[in-house]
A = this chain, B = another copy of it.
Amino acid sequence: MNESLFTVNNLWILVATVLVFIMHLGFASLEAGFVRRKNTVNILFKNCMIIAIGLLTYWACGFNLMYPAETFAGIMSKFGFSSFGLALPEGAGGLIDYADGGYAYYTDFIFQAMFAATCCTIVSGAVAERIKLLPFLVFCTIFVALSYPITGMWKWGGGWLDELGFYDFAGSTLVHSVGGWGALAGIILLGARKGKYKGKKINPIPGHSMPFAAVGVFLLWFGWFGFNGGSVLSADAGAVSLVFVTTSLAAAAGAVGAFVVSHAMFKNYDLSMVLNGILGGLVGITAGADLMSPGAAVLIGLIAGAIIPISVVTFDKLRLDDPVGATSVHLVCGIWGTLAVGLFGSSAGLSQLLIQATGIAAIGVFTFSFAFITFYIIKKVSGIRVSEEEEVRGLDITEHEMEAYTPDLSNAAYELAPVK
């Protein structure tokens, strides 16, 4: 491959890395908007630490666990836990070119590292407003350092699911439903927020800022161009442009699907449903974004969007309290998108559908078990839920000793009070 083409392929993956990075702000904004005012600092703090933990653990061991030189039967890396160390790899300028991959060694690392933290961010939203900070960060470290790279290796590291023919282009299952399974385990072990379910009654607990939620969704869509587009792993004009089209149309159709179904169900125009419908469409297209025609992408997105209000209501009926709808968006639509690879596009077929179901089930069982056991051990050791008083007062005051916003009368209050 000539130098120019290598450089442009590599450049696109780096630009995609930047776009995936900003998804972490998208998640932070979305989750901050969907929680109550009194837990806003807490969710922002968690999102800052998650990206830090994600990058550092991926540097320390995740990358080598996920893309190992040798494995045990495609299930585990033979030499995880070797870090990059303090010295530059040998070779010209610290660069190890991939013979035919079309991008640099460090490009590979940083693009993959940006993905890794995502699964924890998904958990973060679902367990918000009642989980203890430090135990949650311990869970994240373990989950992103071990669970995510192990199942990631099964497919993207050339493991047994890859050999089976499982297809997951950019991670409907490997990233999104992995996060969703972790979220589900957390929700079950934590229990619902105080006051959410009272006998047969479900009390909606509205988020404190819809503008921040909307900013989050737009930024996630923005970043998804890198998430899906970068997963082409080159700047190939035909492939990347197709992925842009399928990704955008699925998101747009997700909005429409959620709009129509939520209006039929609730007789109003529910912004949070449309926002999650967009995300559902994006998660849904992710597994097959490179295989679908524009029309198939519209269908996949439409169905994903329609799933959202139904799923949100169902989780509430099951008394599974998810403040931001992360399980509906990432778990349910992640499964839908992975199955859609067997139903639509150039890959459709019954055998492919069965393989997709196998991958979903295998990764689901492993991840849910891993997350459940990890959360369970932490719960036994240190507890994972804040006290009732802390929950009522809010985590911002009790864990962080600060508030997200100063009161509206701050002019008077902060000027006069501390002076005398």
Contacts and interface: CB of A to CB of B under 8 A. Distances in A.
Interface stretch (A118-126, A148-156, A399-407): A399-407
Contacts of A177: none
Interface in A107-163: 107, 109-110, 113, 133
Interface in A393-420: 393-394, 399-408, 410-411, 414-415, 418-419
Contacts of A235: 7-8, 10-11
Contacts of A107: 237, 241, 244
A93 B56 contact: no
A301 to B, nearest CB: 9
B406 A222 contact: no
Nearest to A294: B84
Interface residues of A, number: 136
Contacts of A404: 209-211
Nearest to A263: B134
A37 interface: yes
A315 interface: no
A350 interface: no
Contacts of A48: 214, 217, 255, 271, 274-275, 278
A39 B415 CA distance: 12
Interface centre among A103, A239, A408, A411 (most CB of B within 10 A): A411
Interface in A165-214: 194-195, 198, 203-212, 214
A41 B39 CA distance: 21
B110 A245 contact: yes
A70 interface: no
A310 to B, nearest CB: 19
A361 B106 CA distance: 35
Contacts of A252: 51-56
A94 interface: yes
Given A18-B225, A51-B252, A84-B293, A237 B6 contact: yes
A52 to B, nearest CB: 4
Contacts of A225: 14, 17-18, 21
Nearest to A17: B244
A375 interface: no
Contacts of A52: 251-253, 255-256, 278
Contact of A95 (B11, B49, B241): B241
Contact of A55 (B54, B249, B272): B249
A44 B214 contact: yes
A153 B274 CA distance: 32
A10 B195 CA distance: 53
Interface stretch (A28-36, A71-79, A324-332, A352-360): A28-36
8 contacts: A10-B241, A14-B241, A25-B222, A40-B211, A95-B238, A107-B244, A110-B244, A269-B400
Interface of A: 2-12, 14-15, 17-19, 21-22, 24-25, 28-29, 32, 36-38, 40-41, 44-45, 47-49, 51-56, 59, 83-88, 92-95, 97, 103-107, 109-110, 113, 133, 194-195, 198, 203-212, 214-215, 217-219, 221-222, 225-226, 229, 235-242, 244-245, 248-249, 251-253, 255-256, 259, 266, 268-272, 274-275, 278, 293-296, 298-299, 346, 392-394, 399-408, 410-411, 414-415, 418-419
